[in-house]
Homo-oligomer: A and B are copies of this chain.
Amino acid sequence: MNLKQLAEALGLSQTTVSRALNGYPEVSEATRRRVVEAAAQHGYSPNARAKGLATGQAMAIGLVIPVSDQQEMVNPVFGDFLAGAGEACSALGYEMVLSVVEGDEAAVYRSMKARGSVDGVVVSAPRLGDPRPALLDGLGLPFLVHGRISGYEAPYSWIDVNSRSAFRRAAGFLLDLGHRRVGLVNGEEIFDFAHRRRRGYGEALAERGLPETADLVVQGEMTEDFGHDSARAMLARPDPPTAFLVSSLICALGVRRAVEELGLVMGRDVSIVTHDDALSYFQNGGDVPIFTAVRSSVREAGRRAARLLIGRIETPGAPHAQDLLEAQLLVGESTGPAPRARKTAP
């Protein structure tokens, strides 16, 4: 059933039917009701492509998922982020198209723009000095960054967690418990969020007049293995850390594994604070979390990201929107005062 057929069935012109369905005022209420009813009854909904062609809008936003080769990682937060963004999109009548790309993202954006398949894109996992915003501005494709880009000066819209503040508070919490050697198991610092987390950690140390020790900081892909191996290595040093600040829950599980392998008890011998994206399939316990964590829901971030982006698309002239989420510091069972005499690993 298309518009023409519906119009014929109703004995009206296509114009009138179209206007009735799109809420234009030039049609009487009686006619509108009649049209809407008939549309529902025949299960008519306008062809998205034809509508898009006519209006010049795709009613879709794009997400680009960068993956490297076979073995590389798909960011585990994507699922929840997508779910959040998807909710918001559906609610606003938009679709989400995603594009998995290894290598040249620029080409993907260019093609999205040229083919008109989306009205805007979400830029995720921005790196330091990320070239994408400049590219997108150049293309005239609206975008929203999930995260921020330290180097970029032009105004842009973003949503982000206050990583620096979160990690400053988390590190401060550990230091206030008496820990003096706090290991930082960070994400790769080419990513802006990891960079900010590192800064927050450094600030907490500096505020207390403590030096930042290079051998207590590592960065890498946030897998369980990476957490485990990093913690093992640090705990094997002559002066091992008594606490860890970890960049993701998955990674923290690795750290815990390392701690337990050495016969140490988490929360007594070694404290752990982790960032927690509140992933739905990986809940960090109930009322009292297993891990003390700085928590911020990535699903909520997804919802807001989509809303902000769509806002930008629909009113391009409006000033850029920013949304800074504060993480909650939730105390769980993985932290406690620094041990007096540190038991050394066997």
Q: Cα distance A286–B226 when bound, in Å?
A: 12
Instruction: Determine the residue in chain B with the shortest Cβ distance to A100.
Output: B86
A53 touches which of B49, B96, B299 (Cβ 8 Å): B49
Q: Indicate if A99 sits at the interface (CB-CB under 8 A).
A: yes
Q: Are B90 and A100 in contact (CB under 8 A)?
A: yes
A52 within 8 A of B: yes
For residue A302, which residue of chain B has the nearest CB?
Answer: B100
Which residues does A use to contact B, with CB under 8 Å?
Answer: 1, 43-50, 52-53, 58, 60, 65, 67, 71-76, 78-80, 82-83, 85-87, 89-90, 95-102, 110-111, 114-117, 222-225, 250, 253, 260, 279-283, 285-286, 299
Query: What number of copies of this chain does the assembly contain?
Result: 2
A281 near B74 with CB under 8 A, answer yes
A253 and B260 alpha carbons, distance in the complex (Å): 13
Majority-rule SS of A interface residues: mixed
| Complexed CA–CA distance, A22 and B35 (Å) | 41
User: Of B1, B58, B82, which is within 8 A of A100 by CB?
Assistant: B82
Contacts of A71 in B (CB 8 A): 280
A257 CB, nearest partner CB in chain B, Å: 8
Q: Are B72 and A86 in contact (CB under 8 A)?
A: no
- Name A79's contact: one of B60, B76, B282 (CB within 8 Å): B76
**One of B82, B222, B282 near A76 (C-beta < 8 A):** B282
Min Cβ gap A106→B in Å is 12
